[in-house]
Amino acid sequence: MKIAVIGAKGLPPKQGGIEHYCAEVYPRMVARGHEVDLFSRSSYTDYTWLTKYDFQGVRVISLPSWKLRGIDAFITSAQGALATNLKKYDVVHFHALGPSLFSFLPRIVNSTKVVVTCHGLDWQRAKWGNFSSQLLKMGEKTAVNFAHELTVVSDALKNYFLQTYNRDVVYIPNAPVTYGKSDSKFAYTNSLGLQQGRYMLFLGRLVPEKRPELLIEAFSALKPLGWKLVIAGGVSNTKSFTSELLERIANDRDIIFAGELRGSRLWEIVRGAGLFVLPSDIEGLPLAMLEAMQEGIPIIASDIPPHRQLIGDERGILFEAGNIDSFIASLERATNNSSEMNFLASKAQQYVKQNYSWDLITSQYLHLYSKTLNAPDSSAILQSSFEKLEQMYLKNR
C-alpha cells in the first residue's frame, strides 16, 4: 500500500505525542513492505522547503511553514492534503482534529481512502483562542463526515463520537515508547540533588490543562519529608503560563524545573522517580503515563476517563480532578505507603505489557486500511458529505 500521513509536525520526534506515535507506527509499516510519505513542517524539521529525507524508511516531505501560533498546523495540513492529489495514494491518514479540517481534499480528485485518528478533543485545550477552537470543531465535524474510518486512542473518545454524532469509531490505543539504556549510576539525577525513589515527577508539556500548578500547590501544602518534586517538560505556546510557574517555584529548593528532556536523561529521570504524577483535566491517552507504567513507576493521576482506563482497578491512585484536598490526600497516602505503591506499580506494568503493543497497533491499522480499501465508496454518500460541509461552513461564517 501507498500511505500518506498528515498532521504530525515531523520526524524524528522532538516533543509531542503524535510525533512519537508516528515514529513508532510508520517505520513498522515500511518494514512490512508498505510505502509511507509523511508531510511535515519545515519549521519543526529545520529542513528547507520541499526537502525529502528518510526516517527509518519513511519518506518525510518538508512543507513550507512559518512559526505562526495557531495557524501553522492548518497551513501545512492544507498543503499536504492538496499534495496527496498529485500522487496516487491508497490511504491518506490524518492525525488530530486541526489537520482533519482538510480531510475532504484527498477525495476530490482520487478514490483515495481517508482515515482520521483523533488523539484528543483539541478544541478543549486552553492554548487555543475562540477562533482556533471553532476551526478545530469544524475539523472534528469534517472528519466525521468525510473519513472512511475514524479511529480514537481511548474508550472515552469512542463514547464521545458515538454520543455526539452517532458515529461508530474504531478504538486503537497508544503504546509506550521502549526506553533505551540510561546511566545505572544516575549521575544526571544526582547532579540535580535528587535521590532515587524519593522524588515525584511531572512529565509533559507545560500547558494549563495538564495542571502542573495544582501539583505544585499540593506538594507545597503537604511538604512530604525527604521528597522533592521535578517538573519536566517543554513549552507549547504557553510561555506566560510557564513564566508564572517558574516564578512560583524559584525560591523552593525542593521543587526542580528540569526543562525538556530527551534520550538517556529522560529515561534516567523517569526510572529514578518514586512517583509519576499527572493531574490533567484533559488527555487523550497519555504516552508519558504509559511509559512510566512500563518502567514500573507508581502512578497518581486525576480521575478523568483516560486515566481511569489506564490505572483503574488497583493499578495506581486516582484523585478527584481539580480537587486540591483530594490531591493532597492521595499524595500523602502514596508517600507513606511504599509497599502498597510498589504493588500497584507491578500490576500496572503487567497490564501495559499485556494490552499495549506497537506491533499490535501497526497490525490493527494495516488491517483497517485493507478493510477500507475493499469497501465500496458510494458517490451518493460523498455528495451528501459535501452538502453537509457546505452547510457547516455557511453556519460558521
Do 308 and 364 sit in the same domain of this protein?
Answer: no
76 falls within a domain: yes
Confidence of residue 17 (pLDDT cuts 50, 70, 90): confident
Domain CATH number, residue 380: 3.40.50.2000
Between 142 and 65, where is the model more confident?
A: 142
- Summarize the confidence of residues 81-90 as an average pLDDT: 94
Same-domain pairing of 228 and 337: yes
Share of the chain above pLDDT 70, in %: 93
Shared domain check, 384 and 308: no
Domain presence at residue 287: yes
The rounded mean pLDDT for the chain is 92
Q: Is 175's pLDDT higher than 70? A: yes
- Assess if residue 180 is contained within a domain: no
Whether residues 30 and 145 share a domain: the answer is: yes
Are residues 368 and 265 part of one domain?
no
pLDDT at 316 (0 to 100): 98
Task: Identify the weakest region by mean pLDDT among 111-120, 125-134, 223-232, 361-370.
Answer: 125-134
Q: Is the pLDDT of residue 188 over 90?
A: yes
Same-domain check for residues 214 and 319: yes
| From 41-50, 83-92, 125-134, the region with the lowest mean pLDDT | 125-134
23 within some domain? yes
More confident residue, 46 or 337: 337
The lowest-confidence range among 47-56, 233-242, 335-344 is 233-242
- Chain segment 106-136, per-residue pLDDT in tens: 988 888 999 999 999 987 876 667 878 888 9
- Say yes or no: 381 and 256 in one domain: no
Give the confidence band of 386 by pLDDT, cuts at 50, 70, 90.
low
Q: Indicate whether 25 and 123 sit together in one domain.
A: yes
User: What percentage of the chain carries pLDDT values higher than 90?
Assistant: 79
Give how many domains the chain has, as a whole number: 2
Q: Is the pLDDT of residue 71 over 60?
A: yes
Distance CA 185, CA 187 (A): 6
pLDDT confidence of residue 394: 56
**The three grid cell numbers given for residue 268, joined into one nine-digit string:** 534516567
Is the domain of 350 the same as that of 372? no
| pLDDT, position 335 | 98
Q: What is the pLDDT of residues 260-280, one digit of tens each?
A: 999 999 999 999 999 999 999
The pLDDT of residue 240 is: 84
How far apart are the C-alpha atoms of 397 and 393, rounded to whole Å? Answer: 6
Residue 147 structural domain: 2-175+358-395
Same domain as 164, residue 20: yes
List the grid coordinates of 367: 488491517
Does a structural domain hold residue 88? yes
Task: Determine, yes or no, domain membership for 182.
Answer: no
Instruction: Answer yes or no: do 14 and 156 share one domain.
Output: yes
Instruction: Answer whether residue 83 shows pLDDT above 60.
Output: yes
The 3 state secondary structure assigned to the chain is CEEEEECCCCCCCCCCHHHHHHHHHHHHHHHCCCEEEEEEEHHHHCCCCCCEEEECCEEEEEECCCCCCCCHHHHHHHHHHHHHHHCCCCEEEEECCCHHHHCCCHHHHCCCEEEEEECCCHHHCCCCCHHHHHHHHHHHHHHHHHCCEEEECCHHHHHHHHHHHCCCCEECCCCCCCCCCCCCCCHHHHHCCCCCCCEEEEECCCCHHHCHHHHHHHHHHHCCCCCEEEEECCCCCCHHHHHHHHHHHCCCCCEEEEECCCHHHHHHHHHCCCEEEECCCCCCCCHHHHHHHHCCCCEEEECCHHHHHHHCCCCCEEECCCCHHHHHHHHHHHHCCHHHHHHHHHHHHHHHHHHCCHHHHHHHHHHHHHHHHCCCCCHHHHHHHHHHHHHHHHHCC
pLDDT value for 385: 57
Residues 109 and 202 both lie in one domain: no
Rounded (10°) CA dihedral 330, 231, 295, 58: 140
Q: Confidence class of residue 380 from pLDDT cuts 50, 70 and 90? A: very low
Band of residue 69 on the pLDDT scale cut at 50, 70, 90: low
Q: State residue 397's pLDDT score.
A: 56
Residue 13 lies in a domain: yes
pLDDT at 387 over 90: no
pLDDT of residue 388: 59
Examine residue 211 and state whether it is found in any structural domain, yes or no. yes
Range from 172-186, 242-256, 300-314, 372-386 carrying the lowest mean pLDDT: 372-386
